[in-house]
Amino acid sequence: MLTVLSPAKKLTKECTAIGSAHTKPVFLSQSETLVNVLKSYDPPGLASLMGISEKLSELNWERYQSWTSNFSADLAREAMYLFKGDTYDGLNAETFNESDISFAQDNIRILSGLYGVLRPLDLMLPYRLEMGTKLQNSTGKNLYEFWGDQLSNELIKELKSHKDKTIINCASNEYFKSIDNSGLNAEVVTPVFKELKNGKSRIISFYAKKARGMMARFIVDNRIDKTDQILDFNLAGYKYDSASSDKNKLVFTRIQP
């Protein structure tokens, strides 16, 4: 069983590896291809392409101009520590012990517009490139066409060593669209988190993002390797709502804070 997360726009300012058991992303050559395309953009071009501010475009222009696939642990940080934001607040990887880190490395994957698929301990350089970016490249007009079935194939390969051939989709729609479900030959289960107020339930993005990270944390803490075990998820007041769920969509609700 693999749990899949989205990356985060927000990154830590620290950019040195925390530990020594780090790994490198499997798609670095593809990342280099994308960076070579991005290097052709000036800051205003990046601002237009990504819909970001002048300040952010200048920062990311500098990042891409200095980007290299041959980076060292002095310049890069493990993915689960570099990403910040709501989902990673929920994951709270900084409090993992060594056994937690090992389990996370084997069972959690992070989808990325630039790096494709990241393991938690994969070293990476700071970047900004959302999966939905319409970046013209040698294989098409956007990143979905660039990655094609590469990400799906990587997940298929990794699932071969897992008894439960299931993907727990804790990623956003933007990122999970990069996975070809029809070719996975695996069950995809998506946890959905809803807030209850005045007799109605709804998804609130801020809470849902954090809950996805908490679900990943729950899976690590409890060494979960079977889908039905996540029905016991009860962090932050959430409870499984069987009446609103089906086989591939597991709904968890709570009273809105």
Report residue 58 as tokens.
Answer: 């200048």
Interior angle at CA 213, CA 210 and CA 215, nearest 5: 110
Q: Whole-prediction pTM value?
A: 0.96
Tens-digit pLDDT profile for residues 199-255: 899 999 999 999 999 999 999 999 999 999 999 999 999 999 999 999 999 999 999
Which strand (E) or helix (H) includes residue 239?
A: strand 239-240
At 144, the pLDDT band (50, 70, 90 cuts) reads very high
Instruction: Say which amino acid occupies 150.
Output: Q
CA distance 90 to 215: 8
The position carrying tokens 């990122």 is 175
- Residue 224: left (phi > 0), alpha (psi -120 to 50), or beta? beta
Over 80: is that where the pLDDT of 183 sits? no
Over 80: is that where the pLDDT of 25 sits? yes
CA distance 209 to 174: 13
Over 90: is that where the pLDDT of 131 sits? yes
Report residue 233 as tokens.
Answer: 């998820």
Tens-digit pLDDT profile for residues 85-95: 999 999 999 99
Interior angle at CA 198, CA 195 and CA 202, nearest 5: 30
Over 90: is that where the pLDDT of 48 sits? yes
Residue 106: give the domain boundaries.
2-255
Over 90: is that where the pLDDT of 24 sits? yes
* Helix (H/G/I), strand (E/B), else coil: 1: coil
CA distance 84 to 149: 28
Task: Give the total number of structural domains in the chain.
Answer: 1
Res 19: pLDDT? 82
* Helix (H/G/I), strand (E/B), else coil: 188: strand
Tens-digit pLDDT profile for residues 88-130: 999 999 999 999 999 999 999 999 999 999 999 999 999 999 9
